[in-house]
Amino acid sequence: MSCYYAVTSALVSPFPSPSSTSLLSLNSGDDVEVKPNFNQNGYKWRLLLAYDGTRYAGWQYQESPPTVQCAVEKALIKATKLQRKDLQLVGASRTDAGVHAWGQVAHFITPFNYNNLDRIHAALNGLLPKDIRVREISPASSEFHARFSAKSKIYHYKIYSDTIMDPFQRHFAYHNMYKLNSDAMREAAKYFIGKHDFSAFENASHNDRVPDPVKHIFRFDVKEMGALLQLEVEGSGFLYRQVRNMVALLLQIGKEAIPPDIVPHILSSRDRKELAKYSFYLPPHGLCLVSINYNESHLLPPPGCPAKSFGMHHTIRKCKTIFY
């Protein structure tokens, strides 16, 4: 499949017919070639997104509350002149309300084929609110799927342990005023590693999907950075609120309220009510989706495509300062 690109609302003119090839002359003087689409599924693009989830009701599209997907779709609709059903935007992870992301991945489809990605990249960031950024945009093969091609996901949960909360961390870390035993937390985290049934760590979901409760946790690290404790977990996938529920239990273990070997007992129970006896609700703002790993073969661009866009860098070509 050939490479493909969208165009900003300021640059869009009516789409060429599927049987024709035409040129659009842009204000910059650059010609953008629009080729017919021979793939019935359209041309696929991959987005790497970062966002502050504080004011959003999660990633997933909803009719009324603001969600990240709604904001991204709104920008894409203006940039491409396509409708939501045509774009078919899919996110890799349905982050919950208040959860942040540095490495969310999504894909969408267009019928265009353009010569450069930098302009659509700049256009999307110009249309998006400032708490959502497109970090990269690249062509993707027809085999790539943001959700189903993923091999693993990495989440971080930050805990700020001090009597007084750092005001610059208040939106991105949970405030804990108790002294924590980080060694006990590390010991307990090891019990999560491997393939387990995590039914005891899943909250009831609002969608109709019946997820597989068996997940593979590849690593679970507890890192100390001064007053900040960062819990890093990588897994094949996660159930609804699984990461926050695991961290909440580790927090109780860090307070020495319960021993580390309580973890295998709760895992084997496969009962969310069993976890509730020892743990408590942990807010979402300390959680961040850091990165998603994919099969390398699914990341290969279609033949003949230019490089992905990391954003345009501006340089000063001539000094305009008046010297005396």
pLDDT in tens, 213-257: 999 999 999 999 999 999 999 999 999 999 999 999 999 999 999
Taking residues 245-271, report their average pLDDT: 98
Taking residues 306-310, report their average pLDDT: 83
Domain boundaries, the chain: 22-148, 151-290
Give the 3-state secondary structure of residue 78. Answer: helix
Q: Where does residue 74 rank: exposed (0-12), middle (13-18), buried (19+ CB within 10 A)? A: middle
pLDDT of residue 258: 98
**Dist CA 25 CA 10 (whole Å):** 12
Question: Do 151-290 and 22-148 have the same topology in CATH?
Answer: yes
CATH number of 22-148: 3.30.70.580
Class of 151-290 in CATH: alpha beta
89-139 per-position pLDDT tens digit:
999 999 999 999 999 999 999 887 767 889 999 999 999 999 999 999 999
Torsions phi, psi for 51 (to 5 deg): -155, 150
**Dist CA 101 CA 178 (whole Å):** 27
pLDDT of residue 53: 98
152-208 per-position pLDDT tens digit:
999 999 999 999 999 999 999 999 999 999 999 999 999 999 999 999 999 987 665
Instruction: Enter the pTM of the model.
Output: 0.85
289 CB-near residues (< 8 Å, 6+ apart): 93, 95, 99, 100, 101, 102, 103, 104, 153, 154, 155
Report, as residue numbers or ranges, the catalytic residues: 96
27-52 per-position pLDDT tens digit:
333 323 444 443 456 789 999 999 99
